[in-house]
Structure 1
Amino acid sequence: MGTVSTCIVPRMGLSMATAERWVRRWEAQQERYALDREERFTVIADVVEQATAHVRRPRVADLGCGPGSLAARLARRLPHAAVTAADVDALLLELGRTHHADAARFVHAEIGADGWLRQLDLDGPLDAAVSTTALHCLDAAALRRTYEGLADVLRPGGVLVNSDGNDAANGDGAGPVARLAREVGRRRAARQGPAGREDWDTWWRAAAEDPELAALLPAPAPARTPGLRHNGLGPDAHTALLREAGFADVAPVWQFGDDYVLVAVR
């Protein structure tokens, strides 16, 4: 899961060893929250590969990229693609730039803010935009702006692929089927969940204590809650917003419990 201002963040070099250690630790921490994380990544790559099969050098944007977990996997699957990875967090971006230097062009952007697409500095229409466990951090107004902006920059036939989870707080996450789906997910997590896995807060506290990472963290460090904050919007609400934004066809292509991969075609 990544985080989703529009200022330029100064580059602060990290050693390769430090970046590798903290990215590996990030990967393990994220698996605590998404048991099917690798399957989700594979499904996203399957969709992007199929949707761009006729494009010589597809342009792909990873929104809320974190340290580049999805971007790196896309680059391995599609080495001919030009991947732009965007996030608002300076530390996660620098981890990605260092550890996945050849996978993507990492840029600082606040997804959904006014003018955020200019920060991507795209050199043409996108063929695909992807995101995983990040867009749930946006409120409905920011999410609408995000989808409308993507509808403008995706080519006809281009795809938006969003992997996320439903939430019980409100909206279409509060119905009886949604509650059953969450229970299915909880029971599966109890059966297969990794015991003793580091959580989100522990990772960030430990990162703040690493002298090499400290320069990339504001002082005092902000409360980082994207992993816990959720707009309460499930796939039905996302589908409605996407269609209003101009996407012709929207449907989930993978789902288990309350986790899903939603695809929208421009």
Structure 2
Amino acid sequence: MTTHAPRQTDWRAWQESWDRQQEWYLPDREERFRVMLDVTEALVGPRPRVLDLACGTGSISDRLLKRMPEAETVGADRDPALLAIARGTFEGDGRAQFVSLDLSDADWPRRLPDERPFDAVLTATALHWMRTEPLRTLYGQLAGLVREGGVFLNADHMPDESTPRLNAAMDAFDKARRQRAQEVGAVDWGGWWRQLAEDPALAGVARERFALFGNPAEVRHDHNSEEFQTAAWHAATLREAGFAEARTVWASPTDALVVALR
């Protein structure tokens, strides 16, 4: 199996189309990235060594290196198609490297390029596919990868079930927004994967991806959608895992950004 694809495609166009597809679901996506990088720079400075965890196409790495040109990033993901786009986008950029690994493997940290601790571990809209106990285990592993004084930031779905009427109203509002956007051409998750599979340069890695996780154009869910932890759970669990401080630094009606200081 390979996560490298032929070069005859427009990698930057695929990177940007991924961002547009994600923004259809998360219209405040850039705001959470801005806050994530603000906190990173405030706590570890403008030249961090970063682990972009469950990096996808490298959206966080892209914004990190544009804002902090002296930073270094290691992107890690299991999805061969998204890694191919990340590698193609950053080809020739010595500040970025990407590795294929499975976070459900107990020894996944050994697949990282070296044993140096990271200044920061950043992730967004990715870890919600993990159920509660595997995520607790992951947080313990991350505490061992972040240097003393370093940070971990996770921006993800962290709903609060204590406000059912508010949640229902926001859900209806967001569904209507997405419907209006789709009527004028916005591409959803399944549609994006259909387009990717039609690109001859990416058809091979698309098939690899579908063999691992299923074809998103054909299945409604290809990851956990049953166990979502609250922001308070994330902060408390990160402290239990060995981080000195942890709290929410940004929130929307459905999502939150939690920071943990080692």
TM-score bin, normalised by smaller chain? 0.7 to 0.9
Report which stretch shifted further, 119-128 or 157-166. Answer: 119-128
Q: Letter of the 2:195 partner, please give it.
A: A
Please give the TM-score of this superposition, normalised by the length of structure 1: 0.85
For 1:141-182, what per-residue CA distance to the aligned partner results, in whole angstroms no more than 9, with x for missing partners?
Answer: 221121111101111111101111224xxxxx4222x65256
TM-score, structure 2 length as denominator? 0.86
Matched residue, 1:108:
100
Q: Could you tell me whether the CA contact under 8 Å between 1:14 and 1:98 is conserved in 2?
A: yes
What corresponds to 2:7 in structure 1? 14
Which residue matches 1:69?
A: 59
1:165 is matched by which residue type in structure 2?
H
Q: Is the 8 A contact 2:156 2:256 kept in 1?
A: yes
Letter in 2 for 1:119: R
May I ask how many residue pairs the two structures share in their alignment? Answer: 250
Amino acid at match of 2:259: V
SS at match of 2:206: coil
Contact 1:185 1:257 in 2 (8 A): no
Tell me which of 60, 69, 93 is aligned to 2:83. 93
The 8 Å contact of residues 183 and 257 in structure 1, kept in 2 or not, is answered as no
Map 1:1-266 onto structure 2 (within 5 A).
9-15=2-8, 17-53=9-45, 57-101=47-91, 102=93, 104-167=96-159, 173-176=160-163, 180-181=166-167, 183-184=169-170, 186-187=172-173, 190=176, 195-196=181-182, 197-218=186-207, 221=211, 222-224=214-216, 225=221, 229=225, 231-266=227-262
Does structure 2 retain, via aligned residues, the 8 Å contact 1:66–1:89? yes
Q: 1:238 to 1:135 in 2, by over 3 A?
A: same
Q: Secondary structure at the match of 1:242?
A: helix
CA distance in 1, matches of 2:104, 2:18: 24
For 1:120 and 1:88, how far apart are their aligned partners in 2? 13
* Structure 1 residue 226, shift from structure 2 partner: 5.0
Q: 1:91 to 1:239 in 2, by over 3 A?
A: same
Q: Give, in whole Å, the separation in 2 of the partners of 1:232 and 1:202.
A: 25
Shift of 1:209: 2.1
Map of 1:4 onto structure 2: none
How far off is 1:14 after superposition?
Answer: 2.4
Letter in 2 for 1:151: A
State the Cα distance separating 1:75 from its structure 2 match.
1.0
Q: C-alpha offsets along residues 188-246 of structure 1, whole Å, 9 cap, x if unaligned?
A: 67468861121101111221222211111336642444577353212122122212111
Identity of aligned residues (%): 38
Counterpart CA distance in 2 for 1:51 and 1:193 is 40
In structure 2, the CA distance between the partners of 1:60 and 1:34, relative to structure 1 (3 Å rule), is: same
Q: Which moved more, 1:182-191 or 1:198-207?
A: 182-191
How large is the Cα RMSD of the aligned pairs?
2.4
Q: 1:165 to 1:194 in 2, by over 3 A?
A: farther
Q: In structure 2, do the counterparts of structure 1 residues 259 and 60 end up closer, same or farther at CA, with 3 Å as the change threshold?
A: same
Corresponding residue number in structure 2 for 1:5: none
Structure 2, unpaired ranges of 5+: none
Unaligned runs of 5+ in 1: 1-7, 168-172
Evaluate the alpha carbon distance shift between residue 71 and residue 186 of structure 1 in structure 2; reply closer, same or farther with a 3 A threshold: farther
